Chain A
Amino acid sequence: MAGLELLSDQGFRIDGRRVHELRKIQCRLGVFSQADGSAYIEQGNTKVLAAIRGSKQKTLHDKVLVNCQYSMATFSTGERKRRPRGDRKSQEMTMHLRQTFDAAILTNLYPRSQIDIFVEVLQSDGGNYCASVNAATLALIDAGIPLKDYVCACSASFVNDSPIVDINYLEESSGKPEIIVATLPKSEQIVFLEMNSRLHEDNLSKVVDTAVKGCKDVYQILDTAVRDHVSQVATVHGWEN
């Protein structure tokens, strides 16, 4: 597209951010009362809801079975989606989410049980996987399920010789390389890594480092939100300091 530069000469992206800036993140825990845990996150224009339920439908004998479902609302994308779930892309996302959380939840604490993670994307503007992972982490914390660490996800790309962090839909569909990383922030261990398009191997470590740094920033925001929520709940319930 002529005239649509992903990165201007002054260092501004299409939506006015700098290369290292994340989109505005707003989140809330405990959105629904009937689910065991729930959370809502807004990353820029991407809005995702996550709900957690415990059940005993299909079980393993030595660890908990993590069951995920990723679903997008039909009005979430620019062009209306015909089916909210069941297509290839949703099934792939479901599998990725399951793998990610299988690695993060302390699965051996709950044998013969099942944890259901349901993610619903209300508005999609790029970074669906990242917002889903962040929302599911918050929901798991709201449900009180023990995790090894927060799981934070962030995406990054490489434009005009500089890595950019947290890409939106326009930047995703421009054909530039896209790296999605989910990490356990404290130990800096990578739980999930995916790359699209073409990227020269000399630039790989730079872009992955940018994404990991983005995850750390996301972790700061999520941690503040969790602490705020817990202190609010504690005040309401009258717990002693």
Chain B
Amino acid sequence: MYFVCFFLKDNCREDGRGCEDYRHMEIETNVVSNTSGSARVRLANTDILVGVKAELGAPAPEKPDKGRLEFFVDCSANATPEFEGRGGEELATEISGMLNRAYDCPACLDLQKLCVIPNQQCWVLYIDILLLECGGNLFDAASIAVKAALYNTKIPTVTVSRDEGIMELEISDDPYDVQKIEVKLAPCIVTLSKIGHSHVVDASQKEESCCLARLMMGVTQNGTITALKKEGSGSLDPTSVEDMIEVGTGKRVGEALNKSLTTALEEEERQGTKSKTLGFLR
């Protein structure tokens, strides 16, 4: 631990990165075919698979004209044997809670587009996150995968017709008659870990085990912070919290991450069906 702290003063981490550098990240969308949208993110050792299923359901009573997002995280036993059976539920609840808070902001996604019949029917997006391997920085990788999967989601068009007072819904069967969700302002979670006196972005497993406290924030592309959470047994000085968010790294890294993610996703979409989806076969 001493080794890690000592070199951080010179902006040098154990694997040679700077304090604000992310590890090698691979993103691939459209991996699972019977979902409305899916994505797989590989951030060094961390492997996360997200599937989005769109189904018609009743809207939330306090938001009758908006669609709903339901997050569900499953920690697979492939990652650690401790996740066998119900072992991973604590971690799963934490991650889904953080994502719920981050996406709760009305400016992030246009949920009004997901409304079909106000007060009665709306599209419910079931976002299922599967943790396949844990290599540090799970929250960031999960949020990136969720954003990529939402970008990839195709919702079939619904035609509403009124027949003698009874509403009839017709869901289009055409695979090209779909609408996509605008995810430009969807947040990504950036985790800042405090090690010694400096804070680092994207901590590996070793760095995570020697950090005092972590600050997780949901940041959108234009710098809006949608959620904030402090974790860990150490305590943070209020000035250093301000530092992390405003002046320092948090916002900057968040904006840069969002921008590069959007660029990568657009590039992948442009390649279209020319590139084969390799999934885990790579």
Contact between B72 and A74, CB atoms less than 8 A apart: yes
Contact between A69 and B84, CB atoms less than 8 A apart: yes
Determine the residue in chain B with the shortest Cβ distance to A122. B32
**Closest Cβ–Cβ distance, residue B15 to chain A (whole Å):** 15
Of the residues A31, A40, A69, A75, contact of B51 by C-beta under 8 Å: A75
**Closest Cβ–Cβ distance, residue B27 to chain A (whole Å):** 17
Contact between A49 and B78, CB atoms less than 8 A apart: yes
Contact between B78 and A78, CB atoms less than 8 A apart: no
Contacts of A69 in B (CB 8 A): 77, 84-85
CA distance A42 to B74 in the complex (A): 21
Contacts of A33 in B (CB 8 A): 45, 133
**Closest Cβ–Cβ distance, residue B259 to chain A (whole Å):** 28
Number of A-B contacts (CB under 8 A): 94
Decide yes or no whether B49 CB sits under 8 A from chain A: yes
CA distance A97 to B126 in the complex (A): 30
Decide yes or no whether A217 CB sits under 8 A from chain B: no
Given the contacts A73-B128, A120-B132, A42 and B281 also touching, CB distance less than 8 Å: yes
Contact between A32 and B78, CB atoms less than 8 A apart: yes
Decide yes or no whether A53 CB sits under 8 A from chain B: yes
**Closest Cβ–Cβ distance, residue B188 to chain A (whole Å):** 21
Contact between B74 and A84, CB atoms less than 8 A apart: yes
Which of chain A's residues 11-43 have a Cβ closer than 8 Å to chain B? 26, 28, 31-35, 38, 40, 42
Contacts of A26 in B (CB 8 A): 281
CA distance A114 to B133 in the complex (A): 21
Contacts of A118 in B (CB 8 A): 76-78, 81, 84
By DSSP majority rule, is chain B's interface helix, strand, loop, or mixed?
mixed
Of the residues B51, B72, B81, B133, contact of A116 by C-beta under 8 Å: B81
CA distance A51 to B81 in the complex (A): 10
**Closest Cβ–Cβ distance, residue A118 to chain B (whole Å):** 4
Residues of chain B at interface, number, CB under 8 A: 32
CA distance A107 to B74 in the complex (A): 31
Decide yes or no whether A55 CB sits under 8 A from chain B: yes
Decide yes or no whether B121 CB sits under 8 A from chain A: no
Of the residues A49, A74, A80, A122, contact of B55 by C-beta under 8 Å: A80
CA distance A125 to B38 in the complex (A): 17
CA distance A122 to B39 in the complex (A): 12
Q: Among B34, B51, B85, find the residue whose CB has the most chain A CB atoms closer than 10 A.
A: B34
Contacts of B132 in A (CB 8 A): 32, 49, 120
CA distance A78 to B36 in the complex (A): 11
Of the residues B77, B85, B135, B279, contact of A47 by C-beta under 8 Å: B279
**Closest Cβ–Cβ distance, residue A72 to chain B (whole Å):** 10
CA distance A45 to B77 in the complex (A): 23
Decide yes or no whether B28 CB sits under 8 A from chain A: no
Determine the residue in chain B with the shortest Cβ distance to A26. B281
**Closest Cβ–Cβ distance, residue B235 to chain A (whole Å):** 32
CA distance A123 to B52 in the complex (A): 13
Of the residues B47, B53, B134, B281, contact of A28 by C-beta under 8 Å: B281
Apart from A40-B280, A116-B84, A118-B81, what are 5 other A-B pairs with CB-CB below 8 Å?
Answer: A34-B45, A35-B78, A47-B280, A71-B76, A75-B34
Residues of A within 8 A of B (CB): 26, 28, 31-35, 38, 40, 42, 45, 47, 49, 51, 53, 55, 57, 69, 71, 73-78, 80, 84-86, 116, 118, 120, 122-123, 125
A-B contact pairs, 19 of them (CB 8 A): A31-B280, A33-B45, A33-B133, A45-B33, A45-B34, A47-B32, A49-B78, A49-B132, A57-B81, A69-B77, A69-B84, A74-B51, A74-B72, A75-B38, A75-B126, A75-B128, A85-B85, A118-B81, A123-B34
The 5 A-B pairs with the shortest beta carbon distances in the complex, nearest first, are A75-B51, A51-B78, A118-B77, A40-B280, A74-B128
